[in-house]
């Protein structure tokens, strides 16, 4: 099953106004970029053909894969000056690099790779900056059991740390204070599963989440995959640093067997 990854965002919140031009998917968690961690998740589940929708910083992404040295992430034996890998991470991956524009919406990026998805009954899609350990096969099974659904997404609890105030009728009296993470809300966690019929609903000038998904929801074509386990985005430098801290501590809750 092919995996489409959206890799074209500017990542301004990650850069924090600095002159760092490395795109967000190439920010490091441990010794490897975020994108590698996301791709390794899918590869672990047997999905090793990737379509990278490139935009900002495309040269950093292509250079990484063209110059990647697998001894960085795999054990190996050096025998008479020749490297023999004990294991491998990307040698069995097929990667399509597609330049989908600097300012393109997700709809435009997805439409740009439509031909590469011809013949697929289902395909996977995701952002390139969010890590989790959700079990993929049960998600696929649930989606297959809803043949009318065109799109499913991971539905995770709110990750923000702010508090919501309940205000009385007078508009000034605070009646309760609730962490948003404890409210009965769900947010889009990515890890999308789609049927090709989604292309009939994509309008290039629209935003997928703000425009397309509400229309799908009105018709009962949008499906949620609730998940309360580990899920963490890397939208900001602080979030990326937290993932890096987890890696350094050896916790690595998103890392599946074979990820070093």
For the stretch 85-117, pLDDT in tens is 888 888 889 999 999 999 899 999 999 999 999
What's the confidence (pLDDT) of residue 158? Answer: 80
What's the confidence (pLDDT) of residue 51? Answer: 98
Cα dist from 216 to 83, 125, 209, whole Å: 51, 17, 10
Mean pLDDT over 66-94 rounds to: 84
What's the confidence (pLDDT) of residue 20? Answer: 56
What's the confidence (pLDDT) of residue 87? Answer: 80
Least confident of 64-78, 110-124, 214-228: 64-78
All structural domains of the chain, each given as residue ranges with its CATH number in brackets, are 2-157+185-249 (3.90.550.10)
Least confident of 46-50, 61-65, 180-184, 236-240: 180-184
- Can you tell me the distance from the alpha carbon of 88 to that of 74, in angstroms, rounded to the nearest whole number? 6
Burial class (CB in 10 A: 0-12, 13-18, 19+), 45: middle
pLDDT tens figures, 171-199? 777 777 766 666 667 889 999 999 999 99
Statement: residue 259 has pLDDT above 80: no
- Can you tell me the distance from the alpha carbon of 126 to that of 53, in angstroms, rounded to the nearest whole number? 11
pLDDT mean across residues, the chain: 88
């Amino acid at each position: 099953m092919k995996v489409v990854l959206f890799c074209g965002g500017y990542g301004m919140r990650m850069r924090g106004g600095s002159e760092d031009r490395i795109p967000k998917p190439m920010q490091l968690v441990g010794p490897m970029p975020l994108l590698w961690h996301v791709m390794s998740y899918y590869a672990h589940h047997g999905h090793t053909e990737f379509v990278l929708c490139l935009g900002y910083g495309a040269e950093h992404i292509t250079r990484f894969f063209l110059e990647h040295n697998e001894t960085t992430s795999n054990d190996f034996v050096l025998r008479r000056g020749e490297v023999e890998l004990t294991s491998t991470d990307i040698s069995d991956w097929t990667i399509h690099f597609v330049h989908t524009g600097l300012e393109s919406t997700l709809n435009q990026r997805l439409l740009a790779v439509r031909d590469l998805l011809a013949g697929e009954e289902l395909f996977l899609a995701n952002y390139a900056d969010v890590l989790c350990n959700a079990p993929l096969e049960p998600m696929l099974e649930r989606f297959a059991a809803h043949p009318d659904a065109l799109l499913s997404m991971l539905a995770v609890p709110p990750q923000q740390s702010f508090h919501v105030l309940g205000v009385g009728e007078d508009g000034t009296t605070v009646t309760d204070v609730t962490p948003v993470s404890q409210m009965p809300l769900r947010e889009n966690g990515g890890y999308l599963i789609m049927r090709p019929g989604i292309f009939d609903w994509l309008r290039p000038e629209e935003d997928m989440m703000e425009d397309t998904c509400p229309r799908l929801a009105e018709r009962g074509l949008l499906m949620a995959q609730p998940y309360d386990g580990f899920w963490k985005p890397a939208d900001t430098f602080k979030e990326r640093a937290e993932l890096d801290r987890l890696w350094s501590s050896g916790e690595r809750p998103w890392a599946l067997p074979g990820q070093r």
